[in-house]
Each structure stands twice: as structure tokens, then as C-alpha cells.
């Protein structure tokens, strides 16, 4: 495994890239299609999506930092168990924190807080990034990925709550006569909304690629 | 089918050809549905005209748009989108808000057909995909049934028809009272049966002078139209026969077990969308099985599921879900009912 023995300190540009990758180019939900279980289950309202996004962001940043810090001490054979232990520690903290802050949110999120432990984004970043990179970059990566996940949940939650209930964060948007599209609050609505966002991203990437080809062809 | 040109065509055998094309079959299915549209308009008035027009227009526009986005030639000329539009309209309540109808038409074609790759690729009947979407999205509006043969049906729209887009349709109670149709409970025969245990008379049920979706009410007319298509071999008669037969038998069996709760087989046949579904939707060539035995299994399965949903489920009507389920298992039925090839040995144990 390559370690950073004698590597020069990462440049600001590299740090920026570590951060920005998760937001857009490597967005965990829209590009890597990871963590779809909480993405589909917890986005029926904006407030649930925000709570879930923040909880995951916190766990991701902390676990990335700790995994990166202990990466040279952990033998290869037990590394996964170590990651899970580290992640579970932070999930327990989040679990208690949410319960202390708002019992309503805690009940709405239900078992999905505990299930952050097995969120593949977190384990994936621990294994693929934090175990190979210094603490600073790992924290930036965790921030980028976590905010990317947050953006994805927020996008899904907004569409589903606005269409499905006509409200945003509980505030009615369209007056009392608005016809809610109940389907979008139900599980199929989650799949439809995720599919629509994936289509938007795919179309956007497609367009960008075509433009690049065009400019290359013009330059040549 | 490509147009034949005057040039000499080099083709391998067989040299037989048939004048049938997708476009021609689809056109005849549309002809067969026109009497149903006319009857729906006669019974429920001008709201059905608007309903049909909006549904067909939405389907055609969506098909054209999807073809444009996919960068291929528009396929709106093959009449299949027209069929989807008409079928969708016929399964909706007569006063269904037009903006919701347009949404349904869009979902039918975009989600039910074009995302799978267009005509011939869809797993499910597109019109039913649209209707299922509407049922899940707008569960109140889609049960807003109005009485048949109201006096003012040719002079004014049912108030819910012209609901402003994205707003809730108004309540129909006052309008129904004003329309003064005798003994109308604001419910279809199936709803009355399910929730009040009132079984209506059978004759009006089969003739179609009763409340219900725009084109599903007249069982006899649907059968006649279906008979025309079956005689011209545009549909496989085994599917409706199997579906109606199994539904009637299953219904009658329940009736014999407990006559106080369950209606008899004839009621099962005449009520709700069973006829329309069995004749025009279950027989969709794309989404039904192709083997001779498979077709019987497919039809019988759907009839049975319909009765189970109606009698044991929470909804008064189950034809839509039973056909969608039948569509879902159609490829599996095809797979297990492949006929033995003449002269071939017994199948090897390990097959693909």
C-alpha cells in the first residue's frame, strides 16, 4: 500500500480537488450511486433529508479523520473491523445527539440512524481514501463527500416534499387548494425522483462530453 | 412495414406476404374502440369528449417529444399512442380533471413505453402504467364518479373536469344533488357492493347505464367490439375467455361459500373494468405471452387475481393491478410453456 513517506505536503490545488470531487465529479449518490438505501428511504421530507445529511456528514468527516490518523498502526488483516468500530463509535454519538436535540426527528429517522454504520459511502471512503491519505486531505475528502451526499438528499427531499405535500420544510407553498401528488411521498416516488435526478446528471455529462469533443475537433 | 417500390426486390423465401402491418392492426383496434367512446359520450356527456381529446393529445405529444429527444423518426403515425390515449381515457372517471389526464398520458407514454424503447419493447401496458400512476398520486380524484345520464350532460362539463392545473378538484356532492339523478349513491356498482353490501341489478350493469369509468360501463358493447377484433384475428380470443372465465368461476365459488358477502359470478363479469381490461388491455400483443398454453395460464391468472383483490383486498376494483401483475409474469409464463419442437429429443436437464 503506498504511504506518504517523504511525500511533499499537498498543494492547495490538490486539497481543493479532494474536496470538490465529492461535491460534483464523484458525487456519492448522483455519480457513484452509493448509499441508495437512506437516499430512497429518508427523503420524503426536506427536514428528514437535512437531518440525515448532517448526521452522515459528521460521521464521514470524523471517521475519515480517525481512520487516516491510525492508518499506519492498523494491521491489514483487521482493518475493516477497525473501520467499522470507528464508524460505529461516531454513529453512536450522532444517535445520542439527535435524540437529545429533537425526539421528533429521531423518531422520523428511525432505524436509519443506526444504519449509517453500514452506509457504503462511509466504509468506501475509509477504505479507498482515508487509509491511504494524510489526515488533512482525508478530512477534506470526507467534507466533500458528505456535502455531496447532503446535496443529493436535499435535492431529492425538496422535489418529493414540494410535489408530494406542496410544502417546503413544512411551510405551505401553493395555498390550500394545491393538489398534492401523494405518490411522491410513497416509496415509488423515491425511485422516480432518484431516476429523474440521475437522468439530469447523465444528460448534463453527455452534453459536456459532446462539447469537449467538439472543441477538440475544432482545435485539431 | 417498408413501402414496396417498383424495383425488383431480392428476398429469401418464404415469398408469402401479409397485408397486415403494425399500423393497420392498431388502426383497427382504434375503430373497435370508437363505439365505446361514443357510448361513453352518450352516457356521461361532453366531459368524456374533453377527456378523450386531452388523453390522446397528451399521448401523441409525449411520443413525438420522446422520439425527438432520442433523435429518431417520430412514431406517432403508427396509431399505437392513439390507442394508449383512448384506453387511458376510457378507464378514468368521466369527470376526471383534465390536467391530471394530461399527466397520465405523459406518464403512460414516457414511463410506460418510450423508456423501455418504444412500441414492442414495453413490459407493461402503457395505459395501465399511466392509470396506476394517477391512482397512486391522486387517490381521491380518481374515485370521483358521477351519475350516468344526467340531464345536463350535453350542455355543461362536470365541474371537476375543468379544474385549474395543479389545484384540487372541487367537491362533487353539491353538483350530484343538483343533477337529481334518482338513487345515485355517488359510487360505482363495485363500491356499493364492497362497502355497503348492496348488489345492483344485473341488466343495467351489462347494458352500461350506470356509474363508472368513462368507457367501462357497457359489458355487452365491449364484448361486441372484442368479438369483431377476434373475428378479424386482431386479438387472441383465448386471453379474454380465460380471464373472464376464471374471474366468473372464482367469483361464483366465493358466492357459494358466503352469499351474504360476495356477489355472484355474473356480477363479477358485468361490473367495473373487467370486460374492458380483459378485451382491450390484457390482449395487448406486446405485453402478453405468445405460447398457446401460456396464453390460457396468463388469462386465468389475471381473472383470479382480479377476484382476489376485489373480494379480499382493500380496493373495490383490481383489474388494473391484476393485468399489470400478469404483464410482469408474462415472460416467465412464456419461458415455462415453450412447446416441444417436433422431432426433438427430451430436453436436456441443464437448459439456459
* Dist. CA B212–CA B309, nearest whole Å: 18
At B144, is the pLDDT very low, low, confident or very high (cuts 50, 70, 90)? confident
Q: Which chain A residue's Cα is nearest to B132? A: A183
B225 compared with B14, residue with greater pLDDT: B225
Note whether A181 contacts B167, CB cutoff 8 Å.
Answer: no
* B157 touches B179 (CB < 8 A): no
Tell me the pLDDT band of B96, cut-offs 50, 70 and 90.
very high
Domain ranges of chain A: 12-172+179-219
- Residue A6: per-residue pLDDT: 46
- HSE of B18 in the Cβ direction (CA atoms, 13 Å)? 5
Place of cell 397486415: B20
pLDDT of A53 > 60? The answer is yes
DSSP secondary structure letters along B147-164 = -TT-TTTTTS--TTTTPP
Contact A126, A146 (CB under 8 A): no
Check B136 against A182: CB less than 8 A apart: yes
**Preceding peptide of B14 cis, ω within 30°:** yes
Spell out which chain B residues touch chain A, with contact meaning CB-CB distance below 8 angstroms: 100, 133, 136-139, 141, 163, 166-169
- Domain boundaries defined on chain B: 22-144+146-186, 188-335
Give the three cell numbers for residue B255.
358466492
Residue B107: what pLDDT? Answer: 95
Distance CA B163, CA A12 (A): 57
Is the Cβ–Cβ distance between A190 and A44 less than 8 Å?
Answer: yes
- Widest distance between CA atoms in chain B: 72
Find all residues with CB under 8 Å of A186, minimum gap 6, and list them: B136
**What is residue B40's three-state secondary structure?**
helix
The CA-atom distances, in angstroms, between A115 and each of A84, A121, A141, B341 are: 12, 12, 21, 53
CB B85 within 8 A of CB B96: no
Which of A3-7, A24-28, A91-95, B86-90 is predicted least confidently? A3-7
Q: Which of B66, B70, B166, B321 to mutate to test the interface with A (most CBs of A within 10 A)?
A: B166
Kindly list the residues from chain A whose CB atom is less than 8 angstroms away from the CB atom of residue B166.
Answer: 174, 178-179
Q: Does A185 touch chain B (CB under 8 A)?
A: no
Do the beta carbons of residue A91 and residue A26 sit within 8 Å?
no
pTM of the predicted model, to two decimals? 0.87
Q: Which of B282, B322, B324 is closest to B305 using CA atoms? A: B322
Handedness of CA B305, B307, B309, B311 (dihedral sign): negative
Q: Is the pLDDT of residue B2 over 60?
A: no
Tell me the pLDDT tens digit for each residue of B263-307: 888 888 888 889 999 999 999 988 999 999 999 999 999 999 999
What are the grid coordinates assigned to A106, written together? 429521531
Cβ atoms of B325 and B304 closer than 8 Å: no
Amino acid at each position: 500500500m503506498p504511504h506518504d513517506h517523504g511525500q511533499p505536503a499537498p498543494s492547495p490545488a490538490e486539497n481543493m480537488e479532494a474536496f470538490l470531487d465529492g461535491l460534483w465529479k464523484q458525487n456519492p449518490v448522483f455519480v457513484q450511486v452509493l448509499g441508495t438505501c437512506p437516499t430512497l428511504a429518508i427523503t420524503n421530507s426536506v427536514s428528514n433529508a437535512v437531518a440525515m445529511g448532517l448526521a452522515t456528514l459528521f460521521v464521514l468527516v470524523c471517521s475519515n479523520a480517525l481512520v487516516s490518523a491510525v492508518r499506519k498502526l492498523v494491521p491489514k488483516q483487521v482493518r475493516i473491523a477497525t473501520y467499522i468500530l470507528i464508524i460505529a463509535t461516531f454513529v453512536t454519538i450522532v444517535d445520542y445527539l439527535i435524540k437529545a436535540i429533537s425526539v421528533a426527528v429521531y423518531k422520523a429517522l428511525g432505524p436509519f440512524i443506526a444504519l449509517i454504520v453500514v452506509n457504503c459511502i462511509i466504509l468506501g471512503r475509509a477504505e479507498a481514501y482515508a487509509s491511504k491519505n494524510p489526515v488533512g486531505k482525508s478530512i477534506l475528502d470526507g467534507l466533500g463527500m458528505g456535502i455531496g451526499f447532503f446535496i443529493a438528499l436535499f435535492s431529492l427531499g425538496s422535489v418529493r416534499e414540494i410535489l408530494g405535500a406542496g410544502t417546503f420544510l413544512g411551510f405551505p407553498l401553493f395555498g390550500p387548494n394545491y393538489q398534492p401528488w401523494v405518490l411522491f411521498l410513497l416509496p415509488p416516488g423515491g425511485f422516480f425522483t432518484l431516476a429523474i435526478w440521475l437522468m439530469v446528471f447523465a444528460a448534463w455529462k453527455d452534453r459536456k462530453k459532446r462539447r469537449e469533443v467538439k472543441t477538440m475537433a475544432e482545435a485539431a | 412495414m417498408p413501402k414496396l417500390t417498383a424495383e425488383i426486390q431480392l428476398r429469401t423465401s418464404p415469398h408469402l406476404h401479409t397485408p397486415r402491418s403494425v399500423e393497420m392492426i392498431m388502426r383497427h383496434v382504434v375503430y373497435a374502440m370508437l363505439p365505446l367512446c361514443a357510448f361513453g359520450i352518450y352516457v356521461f356527456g361532453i366531459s368524456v369528449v374533453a377527456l378523450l381529446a386531452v388523453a390522446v393529445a397528451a399521448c401523441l405529444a409525449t411520443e413525438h417529444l420522446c422520439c425527438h429527444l432520442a433523435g429518431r423518426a417520430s412514431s406517432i403515425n403508427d396509431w399505437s399512442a392513439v390507442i394508449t390515449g383512448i384506453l387511458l381515457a376510457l378507464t378514468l372517471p368521466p369527470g376526471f380533471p383534465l390536467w391530471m389526464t394530461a399527466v397520465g398520458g405523459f406518464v403512460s407514454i414516457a414511463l410506460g413505453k418510450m423508456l423501455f424503447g418504444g412500441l414492442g419493447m414495453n413490459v407493461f401496458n402503457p395505459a395501465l402504467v399511466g392509470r396506476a400512476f394517477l391512482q397512486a398520486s391522486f387517490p381521491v380524484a380518481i374515485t370521483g364518479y358521477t351519475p350516468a345520464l344526467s340531464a345536463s350532460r350535453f350542455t355543461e362539463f362536470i365541474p371537476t373536469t375543468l379544474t385549474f392545473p395543479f389545484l384540487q378538484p372541487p367537491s362533487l356532492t353539491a353538483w350530484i344533488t343538483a343533477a337529481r339523478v334518482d338513487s345515485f349513491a355517488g359510487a360505482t356498482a363495485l363500491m356499493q357492493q364492497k362497502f355497503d353490501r348492496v348488489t345492483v341489478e344485473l341488466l343495467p350493469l351489462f347494458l352500461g347505464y350506470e356509474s363508472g369509468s368513462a368507457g367501462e360501463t357497457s359489458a355487452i358493447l365491449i364484448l361486441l367490439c372484442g368479438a369483431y377484433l377476434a373475428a378479424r384475428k386482431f386479438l387472441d380470443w383465448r386471453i379474454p375467455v380465460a380471464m373472464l372465465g376464471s374471474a366468473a368461476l372464482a367469483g361464483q365459488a366465493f358466492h357459494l361459500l358466503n352469499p351474504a358477502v360476495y356477489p355472484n359470478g355474473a356480477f363479477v363479469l358485468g361490473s367495473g373494468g373487467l370486460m374492458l381490461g380483459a378485451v382491450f388491455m390484457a390482449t395487448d400483443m406486446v405485453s402478453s405471452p405468445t405460447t398457446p398454453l401460456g396464453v390460457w395460464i396468463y388469462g386465468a391468472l389475471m381473472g383470479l387475481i382480479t377476484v382476489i383483490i376485489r373480494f379480499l383486498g382493500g380496493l373495490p376494483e383490481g383489474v388494473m393491478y391484476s393485468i399489470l401483475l400478469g404483464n410482469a409474469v408474462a415472460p416467465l409464463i412464456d419461458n415455462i410453456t415453450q412447446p416441444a419442437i417436433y422431432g426433438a429429443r427430451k430436453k436436456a436437464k441443464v437448459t439456459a
